[in-house]
Amino acid sequence: MKISLCMFKEGMSMERIVIEGRHPLSGSITIGGAKNSAVALIPAALLADGICTIKNVPNITDKDALFDIVKHLNCEITEDNKAIKIDSRCLNNVLITQELSVKLRASYYFMGVLLSKYKHVEIFFPGGCNIGSRPIDLHLKGFKALGAKVTKRGHKYTLDAEELKGAKIKLDFASVGATINIMFAACMAKGRTIIENAAKEVEIINIMDFLNKMGAKISGAGTDTIIIDGVTKMHGAEIDVIPDRIEAGTYILMGALLGENLTVDGIIPEHNEALFNKLTEMGVSYQIDKNSVTLNKTDSLKPVDIITQVYPGFPTDLNQPMCVLLTQANGTSTMEETIWENRKGHYPSLLKMGAKIELDGNKATITGKTDLKGTEINATDLRAGAALILAGLIAEGTTYIYDIDYILRGYENIIHKLSQVGAKIKIEKI
């Protein structure tokens, strides 16, 4: 079988999103749990000899793909509304098949978890959106530094260790996935592990908190140095998934474009500081409250220059939705991507809708204000899909978005959330 980084495409549903544009958005949208936290917290639960409860788990298809792996490993899952319980006491550490691992990127977290607990893992290369080559060399370097032997045959990886020993690991790049995966592997290693140049994303703090509740001894998440003192056993614990700052950012951008007192609720405003700074620079009208922000559409937006950075910089995951706001600023803005080499899937669709964009490598020059027009377009990845929804909401006429499974893997109940605040949006069979 031919393996691609985006095997996900093969299972695409025969549905499309239909949007009738230019309807104002008012009322309140409540943000769910963070996808990027939840997809690490679910595998993390397998470190426990006991039952873990994870609350506020978002209802996204990436969660279902992880559940399939957890069940494949013979663990029990029960779901009650948005709280899930995972019992890993009967875990059977078998090969995680290619069919299961390619469904999402975060399947690589089972590497760190199973290596930590069983000193043995067999798994295939993960899947995920096609936004760049997405290597896992930094994860593997970290595992090797802890004493693991990594064998690669085709796309299959076998990781073994007689014992894992704490080490000093300096990441060449502050990778989110590698930081979390090394934290997992080091939890039950002998002695102290120090991760230098660690990623500082807020989701990593959420994961450290969970691991510590399970008995791990970790400090420093949220800074660039994380210290892990190995323990011999971990137990069941309970954690709340933090709010999704990227989902929040996406709806905040919608409020900037179409809000008539649109409130985005259930957020931690500090997590979106880089976005708010740019919105202020553009002249967007918004008011932050303790856990919410209320936005109103502004007609005279100023252009800005944006460079995506690791946290706390402007998030790469908001690059694509932000581009839609930039098409509505009066003048020339730039958007430069520095994290992923192929976060460009939204540009052809925006051009087709009437945007003025020039692309030079990973830097886009966007000149506004342009009227966008509804047409048929394709989601190429999760955040490109979000951008196309924003574009459809402000476009004249009707927009048809295909390959919508990319969107549903990371935005819970997006059609319902938007319909409730006045958008004319639906999913229909093709």
Binding site for ligand UD1 (CB under 6 A): 36, 39, 105-106, 132, 134-139, 173, 175-178, 199, 316-317, 339-340
Q: Which of 6, 52, 75, 129 is catalytic?
A: 129
The H-or-E segment that residue 167 falls in is: none
CA angle 69, 61, 391 (to 5 degrees): 150
- Nearest distance from C-beta of residue 337 to ligand UD1, angstroms: 10
| CB-based contact 363:323 (threshold 8 Å) | no
| CB-based contact 45:234 (threshold 8 Å) | no
The Cα 400–Cα 87 span in angstroms is: 42
- Nearest distance from C-beta of residue 37 to ligand UD1, angstroms: 8
Output 386 or 404, the one with its CB closest to ligand UD1: 386
For residue 370, the tally of other CB atoms under 10 A from its CB is 16
Output 251 or 286, the one with its CB closest to ligand UD1: 251
| Cβ-proximal residue to ligand UD1, closest one | 177
- Nearest distance from C-beta of residue 404 to ligand UD1, angstroms: 18
User: What is the DSSP track for 146-189?
Assistant: TT-EEEEETTEEEEE-S--B--EEE-SS--HHHHHHHHHHHHTS
Q: How many helices (H) and strands (E) does the chain have?
A: 14, 23
- Nearest distance from C-beta of residue 328 to ligand UD1, angstroms: 24
Q: Which residues of 107-120 are buried (b: 16+ CB within 10 A; e: fewer)?
A: bbbbbbbbbbbebe
Output 198 or 425, the one with its CB closest to ligand UD1: 198
Output 21 or 222, the one with its CB closest to ligand UD1: 222
The Cα 341–Cα 321 span in angstroms is: 17
Strands 259-265 and 25-30: parallel
| CB-based contact 293:273 (threshold 8 Å) | no
Output 362 or 399, the one with its CB closest to ligand UD1: 362
Q: Is 129 a catalytic residue?
A: yes
For residue 319, the tally of other CB atoms under 10 A from its CB is 27
- Nearest distance from C-beta of residue 413 to ligand UD1, angstroms: 20
Output 136 or 301, the one with its CB closest to ligand UD1: 136
Give the largest Cα separation in the chain, rounded: 64
- Nearest distance from C-beta of residue 4 to ligand UD1, angstroms: 16
The Cα 86–Cα 354 span in angstroms is: 48
| CB-based contact 61:247 (threshold 8 Å) | no
- Nearest distance from C-beta of residue 403 to ligand UD1, angstroms: 18
User: Which is nearest to 324 in space by CA: 360, 284, 362, 366?
Assistant: 366
- Nearest distance from C-beta of residue 62 to ligand UD1, angstroms: 8
Residue matched to tokens 């190429």: 380
Output 171 or 353, the one with its CB closest to ligand UD1: 171
Cα 344 to chain centroid, rounded: 17
Q: Is residue 336 left, alpha or beta, with left meaning phi > 0 and alpha meaning psi from -120 to 50? A: beta
| DSSP state for residue 333 in the 8-state scheme | E
Tokens found for residue 104: 């999402």
Q: Which residues of 157-169 are buried (b: 16+ CB within 10 A; e: fewer)?
A: bebebeebbbbeb
The Cα 323–Cα 362 span in angstroms is: 13
Output 111 or 189, the one with its CB closest to ligand UD1: 111
Q: Which residues are known catalytic residues?
A: 129
